[in-house]
Structure 1
C-alpha cells in the first residue's frame, strides 16, 4: 500500500492528521500541489505533488525559491494522503513530526515533457509547472546521485517570466488557507482572525 509507511508512523487517536481513508480525487481533475510550513525539531517546508493518487513529499529545509540561482535540498519522505493538502494545526508531542504546520502555498500543476509524473519520479528527474498563489512557473526536481537511489533531491526554479532573483521566502510567512502564522496557530487563534494576513505575494 502506498500509504502504509505514513500510517505506520502515526497514532490517529492522538494526532489530528488525516488517516487517508477518503476516496481518491477524480482522475480527470488537475493534480494538486501544496507546500506546508512545518516547525518541528527544525523549521522546514514540506513540498508535495499529487502523483498516482497520493502526495509525493519532500522536506525542504530552506523552503522553495523563485530564483533560478537557488538549488534547494529536498529530502524525500513518505507519501501522504491527498487530503493532507488541507491539514493545518498542531501535531502533538511524542507524535511523528510533532510541531506546528500551516498551508504556505497550494494550487495545481502540470507535468512537463518526459513521460508521466510517476515515470519521471522513478527516473529521478521531474519537470513541472506550478500554478499556486505564491509559487508559479517551471520547476524541476533532480535526484542527487544515480537514478533510483537515495532520498536527496534538488528543487530548482527554471528561468521564465515568474523567476525572481531577489526572492526572499521570509516575506511570505502566512497561510494561504487561513491567513494565520505559525504563532497564530500555536496561540489557538481562529482562521481569519490574524492581525495581518501575510499570505500574499
Structure 2
C-alpha cells in the first residue's frame, strides 16, 4: 500500500500546499491496525484509523486518457478522489525535486470541487478513530498507564 506522511494533515483549501513525505510501502493488512507500536520499531507511536473509505485514481494525461497509478507515481503527479468518512473529494500529489535529505517529498493540494472547505483548519477537532472513537491522546494515556504498571 503506497503511503505518505502528511505532518500538518490534509487541507480542504485549494490554496494550501501541504508537505507529504513518501514512506515505505505498507502491507495491506496494516489498514486495520489501531494501537501502539513499541519504541525502537519502525513507525513507533500511537496509531488510530483516522479515516476509512476508498479512492479512485482520476489522473489523466494531456489527451484526457486515464494514467495508471504506477505511471502517475513514476511521473510524479497523482490525482485521486477520496470517498471516506471524513475526507471527500479530489486531491493532487505532486513530487518535488529531490533535496539533500534524500527523502521523496511531495505536495498535496486540494482540487476544486464541492468539498472545498469541508474540513476544519485544525484536524484535531475531528481526531477520533472512525473505528473505536479513540484519539491519539487516549492511546497515549493508555500507553502511560501500561508503562507505570510494568
Structure 1 unaligned spans of 5+: 1-54, 190-201
Q: Distance in 1 between matches of 2:21 and 2:29?
A: 21
- The alpha-carbon deviation at position 124 of structure 1 amounts to 0.2
Q: State the TM-score, normalizing by the size of structure 1.
A: 0.62
Aligned mate of 2:76, from 113, 124, 129:
124
Match of 1:83 in 2: 29
Aligned mate of 1:71, from 4, 7, 17:
17
> Match of 1:93, SS?
coil
Q: Distance in 2 between matches of 1:166 and 1:64?
A: 9
> RMSD in angstroms over aligned alpha carbons?
2.0
Q: Distance in 2 between matches of 1:108 and 1:166?
A: 18
> Greater RCO between the two (CA within 8 Å, min separation 6)?
2
Aligned mate of 1:99, from 45, 50, 53:
45
Match of 2:64 in 1: none
Q: Is this contact kept in 1: 2:13–2:110, CA < 8 A?
A: yes
Q: Distance in 1 between matches of 2:71 and 2:103?
A: 17
Match of 2:59 in 1: 113
Structure 2 unaligned spans of 5+: 61-66, 144-150
Structure holding more strand per residue: 1
Q: State the TM-score, normalizing by the size of structure 2.
A: 0.81
